[in-house]
Structure 1
Amino acid sequence: MKYVRFKQGETDKYGVLKEEEIIVLTGSPLNGDSTQTDEKVNIEEVRLISPLVPNEIIGIGANFFADEKDRPEWLPDTPIFFSKPKHSVIGTGDSIELPPGVESVKFESEIAVIIGKQARNIDESDYLDYIFGITVANDVTSPDYFREDGHWFVGKSFPSFTPLGPVIETDVKLENVMIQSYVNGKPFQNSPTSHMIISIPQMITYLSQVTVLNPGDVILTGSPVGADFVKAGDVVSCTVTGVSTLENPVIQSKTTKKVTLI
């Protein structure tokens, strides 16, 4: 099933997407309190927004290899996880804003896993029981704000730096899924989930041992080789096959002062 969230007047609503038609829901499917109504709207008549407001956002870095011959022999002792603020989330069609004075901003197409129920110390074989669904993500990043010791938070936290959507797919099939990206129609990324170093089941299991995963948490599962830089005027499209395509234009922020401590 494909869920969307959209603006109807001043109200944010959820719906079930069937081809070009949205069946309007009461409540939120993430909270388990939604029911289908008799109301239907055409997808062209509403504005889609991010499919959820995440509870927490956790990402993983350096999680793809380019070719099977590059597959690491061993898993890392400590995976590279980081967090992103939920105010960085935007929906499909919304603009990615380049911060003032920043020389480099990258797109990173990814699968975003949405947690459906609390997970703590789970067995890997049960990981699907804790997934509500998946969506498409763009983990926008400014390496200008990375530190040499690996601190990534600032460079990933600007408003608009986490596009999500446009749908949540609850029929989760992660085998042979391709993660792709395009800038102005030119292809950049195109890798299968089998090129992940740490798989999604391993990721969720590991995180459930480190912390408590709660409904509405979003896990960004890593970006394939091929991510590149963008500039104002570009349009970035991120695709997860079998799910959807997330598309965002890139603009220059109206703010003029670069972020500094002075």
Structure 2
Amino acid sequence: MRLATIRTAGGTRAVRVDVDRAVETGHSDVGALLADPDWRRVAEAADEPAHALDTLDYAPVVPRPGKILCVGVNYAAHIREMGRQVPDYPTIFAKYPEALVGAYDDVVLPAASDAMDWEAELAVVIGARVRHTDEATAEAAIAGYAVLNDVTARDWQYRTLQWLQGKTFEATTPFGPELVTPDEAGTGLDLTCAVDGETVQSANTADLVFGAAATIAYVSTILTLHPGDVLALGTPGGVGHARKPPRYLTPGAVLTTAIAGLGECRNTCVAEKRP
């Protein structure tokens, strides 16, 4: 099953995306749908109103997650690229909902940064309350997967030992277009990122050091995960900051982030307009 949050004249709506139409579930967004313990049956039974697929305006798949937790240095190839050692534990940092944009919205390049970099990632959306869990239970708590790009201000990220300030600039993080449930998504997914049609990242999620279930189990030891919370599992090699010379996003660049079976985000980069 595929779920999405779309913008309509009456506000955002959660929809089940079928092959020929998108059907509203009766919820304001996918996060609100997942808050219903019976969300899967409710979504499967939804019958109307419906929207033509070519009219959909995608919002972030979960517009305002309670938590967005991200994993750094989590692909073996990327770890080698950055000259680091494979970590014993996941490197966790946070992001805030203001950073999110829809699958086809503009990515805003902040005026304060000259080093905005791409980071294609697999996002995991939580579908049940999780606390102090093992990996098997964690696996069962996954509502689905989506595409995310953790666009990062490298000059701000490395100002201090803490990364958050470079990771959560407003309107920088494409997230969508749809949540794809695990039974349909599969495993070992090909992930790519392209800038103006040139592929700059290419990997398979099998290269993850800490997979979805392991990350959920680890984080659940720290705090409770709730339906609609999001975990971004890190980026593979090919980031612009590691190139010689470094390469960064510029206004007008088209950023395309794709994961096989999940779809793609295609976003135009625009300069921030400050008042």
The gaps in structure 2 that reach 5 residues or longer are 241-247
Q: Which amino acid in the other structure matches residue 146 of structure 1?
A: Q
Q: Which amino acid in the other structure matches residue 51 of structure 1?
A: V
Identity %: 24
Q: Compared with structure 1, are the counterparts of its residues 232 and 68 closer, same or farther at alpha carbon in structure 2 (3 Å cutoff)?
A: closer
Q: Which amino acid in the other structure matches residue 79 of structure 1?
A: P
Aligned position for 1:259 = none
Q: Which amino acid in the other structure matches residue 38 of structure 1?
A: E
Q: Compared with structure 1, are the counterparts of its residues 13 and 147 closer, same or farther at alpha carbon in structure 2 (3 Å cutoff)?
A: same
Task: Give the one of 211, 218, 228 matched to 1:199.
Answer: 211
Higher helix share: 2
- Say if 2:99 and 2:170, in contact at 8 Å, map to a contact too: yes
**Correspondence 1:180 to 2:192:** yes
| Counterpart secondary structure, 2:12 | strand
CA RMSD, Structure 1 to Structure 2 (Å): 2.2
**Correspondence 1:45 to 2:45:** no
- Say if 1:99 and 1:255, in contact at 8 Å, map to a contact too: no
Instruction: Return the offset for 1:69.
Output: 9.5
Instruction: Return the offset for 1:39.
Output: 2.4
**Correspondence 1:104 to 2:115:** yes
**Correspondence 1:139 to 2:150:** yes
Instruction: Return the offset for 1:148.
Output: 5.6
- Say if 1:114 and 1:132, in contact at 8 Å, map to a contact too: yes
- Say if 1:59 and 1:84, in contact at 8 Å, map to a contact too: yes
Q: Compared with structure 1, are the counterparts of its residues 155 and 22 closer, same or farther at alpha carbon in structure 2 (3 Å cutoff)?
A: same
**Correspondence 1:31 to 2:28:** no
How far apart are the structure 2 equivalents of 1:68 and 1:56?
25
Instruction: Return the offset for 1:55.
Output: 1.3
Instruction: Please give the residue correspondences for 1:1-262 in structure 2 after superposition, counting only pairs within 5 Å.
Output: 1-27=1-27, 28-32=32-36, 34=42, 36-52=46-62, 53-66=64-77, 76-147=87-158, 149-172=160-183, 173-228=185-240, 229-255=248-274
Normalising to structure 1: TM-score of the pair?
A: 0.90
How far apart are the structure 2 equivalents of 1:141 and 1:76?
21
Aligned length: 254
How far apart are the structure 1 equivalents of 2:15 and 2:254?
27
How far apart are the structure 2 equivalents of 1:128 and 1:153?
27
- Say if 2:191 and 2:260, in contact at 8 Å, map to a contact too: yes
The gaps in structure 1 that reach 5 residues or longer are 257-262
How far apart are the structure 2 equivalents of 1:67 and 1:82?
17
The structure 1 segments of at least 4 consecutive aligned residues displaced by more than 6 Å after TM superposition are 67-70
Instruction: Return the offset for 1:199.
Output: 1.9
- Say if 1:67 and 1:195, in contact at 8 Å, map to a contact too: no
